[in-house]
Amino acid sequence: MNILESWMSDALFTFVISADLAVDIFFWLSAFLASYLLLSKMNDNEGNLGSILKIYLNRLMRLWPLYIFTILFFWRFMPIFGGDGPMFFMYESVTECSQ
Chain-wide mean pLDDT for the chain? 82
User: Long-range contacts of range 28-37, CB-CB < 8 Å, 24 or more positions apart?
Assistant: none
29 and 64 in a single domain? The answer is no
Number of separate domains in the chain:
2
- Whether the per-residue pLDDT at 25 is higher than 80: the answer is yes
Same domain, 88 and 46: no
Are 64 and 96 in the same domain? yes
Distance CA 30, CA 15 (A): 21
> In which domain, by residue range, is 96 found?
51-99
- Does 83 score more than 70 pLDDT? no
Rounded Cα gap, residues 9 and 4, in angstroms: 9
Over the stretch 43-68, which tens digit does the pLDDT of each residue have? 988 888 878 898 889 889 999 999 99
The pTM assigned to this predicted structure is: 0.51
Q: Is the same domain home to 97 and 68?
A: yes
* Residue 49 contacts residue 41 (beta carbons within 8 Å): yes
Name the band, by pLDDT with cuts 50, 70 and 90, for residue 41: confident
